[in-house]
Amino acid sequence: MILRRVAVISYGMTKVDKHWNKSLRSLFGEAALNAINKVKNPKIDAIIVGNMCASDLSDQNNIGAIVADELGLTPITAYRVEAACGSGGAALLTGFSLVSSGVYDVVMVGGVEKLTDNIGKMISFSLGKAADAEYELFYGATFASLNALLMNRYMYVYKTPREAFADFAVLMHKNGAKNPYAQLPFEINREIALNSEYIADPIRLYDCAPIGDGAAVIILCSLEEASKYTDSFVEIIGISGASDTINIASRDDLLSLKATVTAANNAYKMAKVTPKDIDVAEIHDTFTITAAISLEDLGFCERGKFDKFLYEGAFEPGGIVAINPSGGLKSRGHPVGATGVYQAAEITMQLLGEAGKMQIPNAEIGLTHNMGGVGSSVYVSIMKRVK
């Protein structure tokens, strides 16, 4: 039961990059101060932090207390939320619930991740824990190889040309080249994507999101109080999360992510909109195959027709829905536990008309889609411009 409507009144981000000279706390502090300085001195009641890998890669738990201390906000409530790569989306749902229920009036929702201070093997193993450690990792599966299974299956069932996945990567880099926060802000072509090195056949390097560090923050309050802090804000009109079996072998259908379908349908119902009403979306494209299946499960195109819609321009500005004007995980980068909050900040920018070269004209309703594992945890939010 929703007791209070919830607004996003501010946002802040760091550039996604290899921040070897910055710590978890300093990255979060930078993003948080960017958000706080945009509005009129909100009294933060709680901080919810999305993070996946700090325990493994930074030898640090208790992230909530660290960032509260960094910002000088102790003794407020502050804690970490973990749902693998979907941690940011889970943090957003938690923060929304706290404000909507009236437990707190102003909640800072953030995400932070430090990945690049470690060697590749350690990073891959930590990220691989988003899969089933007992039934998948134990037998040598990696996050990339599990998605490679889906990609092979998709191409076999739907006769989709390999080039379509490369061309989606090209579109993401075209978008990301306009994003000042992007880790890989440059364009590529089909040949570069198709000839990049194999990661797990048929997945190549440019089918994958890069590994990076970053932090993002949004500030939530009740809709009726939002005008106290700022003249421009957006409302979260729908939000939901869902889960699926963590190991993909237990699923009925490898080519549809049940958690995405469920979370999206619940969010659409709550928001009283349909996929046709969405102007701009930030979706979770860890791999190009993840994007293809997610676009279908979110209702933006028919199953098995990802390539047809792509080549018709459906996912570009002026198409059915503008997908990842930020460049998505593929070009903006994927600081794992922070990704879902980056998405929320980016949609807020779009709806407020503050996205600069990335701006989608007349965007009024936006969607975020954040995924943990191979679709085992999914969070979808829908936002609408208020004023």
Confidence of residue 387 (pLDDT cuts 50, 70, 90): low
By C-alpha distance, which of 259, 260, 264 is closest to 243?
259
pLDDT in tens, 19-40: 999 999 999 999 999 999 999 9
- Looking at residue 41, what is its pLDDT? 84
CATH classification of 6-118+212-234, choosing from 3.40.50.720, 3.40.47.10, 3.30.950.10, 3.30.70.20? 3.40.47.10
In this prediction the pTM is 0.97
pLDDT in tens, 91-116: 999 999 999 999 999 999 999 999 99
User: How many Å apart are CA 267 and CA 92, to the nearest integer?
Assistant: 13
27, 19 contact by CB (below 8 A): yes
Structure tokens that stand for 125 in this block:
């193993």
- Looking at residue 325, what is its pLDDT? 98
User: How many Å apart are CA 209 and CA 285, to the nearest integer?
Assistant: 7
**Percent of the chain topping pLDDT 90:** 91
Mean pLDDT of 332-338: 97
- Looking at residue 208, what is its pLDDT? 97
- Looking at residue 129, what is its pLDDT? 87
- Looking at residue 39, what is its pLDDT? 95
pLDDT over 80 (residue 196):
yes
337, 51 contact by CB (below 8 A): yes
What are the two backbone dihedrals, phi and then psi, of residue 322, each rounded to the nearest 5 degrees? -75, 115
Mean pLDDT of 42-59: 94
User: How many Å apart are CA 284 and CA 254, to the nearest integer?
Assistant: 17
Angle at the Cα of 102 (from 101 to 108), degrees rounded to 5? 95
- Looking at residue 1, what is its pLDDT? 61
Mean pLDDT of 233-259: 97
Catalytic residues: 85, 334
143, 282 contact by CB (below 8 A): no
383 CB neighbour count, 10 Å cutoff: 27
Give, to the nearest 10 degrees, the angle between helix 143-158 and helix 120-128.
60
pLDDT over 80 (residue 239):
yes
381, 272 contact by CB (below 8 A): no
3-class secondary-structure state, position 96: helix
Confidence of residue 369 (pLDDT cuts 50, 70, 90): very high
- Looking at residue 2, what is its pLDDT? 62
Q: Are domains 6-118+212-234 and 131-210+236-385 of this chain identical in fold? A: yes
pLDDT over 80 (residue 135):
yes
Pairing of strands 234-243, 77-81: unpaired
pLDDT in tens, 142-190: 889 999 999 999 999 999 999 999 999 999 999 999 999 999 999 999 9
- Looking at residue 104, what is its pLDDT? 98
pLDDT over 80 (residue 50):
yes
By C-alpha distance, which of 35, 34, 21, 112 is closest to 66?
112
pLDDT over 90 (residue 118):
no
- Looking at residue 127, what is its pLDDT? 84
User: How many Å apart are CA 78 and CA 137, to the nearest integer?
Assistant: 32
Q: DSSP alpha helices (H): ranges in the chain?
A: 24-36, 54-57, 63-70, 87-101, 120-128, 143-158, 162-176, 190-195, 258-271, 288-297, 306-311, 328-331, 339-352
Mean pLDDT of 250-271: 97
Confidence of residue 117 (pLDDT cuts 50, 70, 90): confident
pLDDT over 90 (residue 119):
no
Confidence of residue 306 (pLDDT cuts 50, 70, 90): very high
Mean pLDDT of 39-50: 95
Is the CA virtual torsion 81, 84, 86, 88 positive or negative? Answer: positive
Domain map of the chain by residue range?
Answer: 6-118+212-234, 131-210+236-385
Encoded amino acid at 351, one letter: L
**Which stretches does DSSP call E strand in 194-305?**
198-200, 203-204, 214-222, 234-243, 280-282
* Residue pointed to by tokens 């690049």: 116
Q: What is the chain's mean pLDDT, rounded?
A: 96
Question: Which homologous superfamily does the CATH classification assign to the domain defined by 131-210+236-385?
Answer: Thiolase/Chalcone synthase (3.40.47.10)
Mean pLDDT of 307-313: 98
> 360-378 burial, b if ≥16 CB within 10 A, otherwise e?
beebebbbbbbbbbbbbbb
Angle at the Cα of 296 (from 295 to 302), degrees rounded to 5? 130
234, 386 contact by CB (below 8 A): yes
- List Cα–Cα distances, 272 to 150, 190, 269, 332, 341, in angstroms: 32, 39, 5, 30, 23
Please give the biggest Cα pair distance in the chain.
57
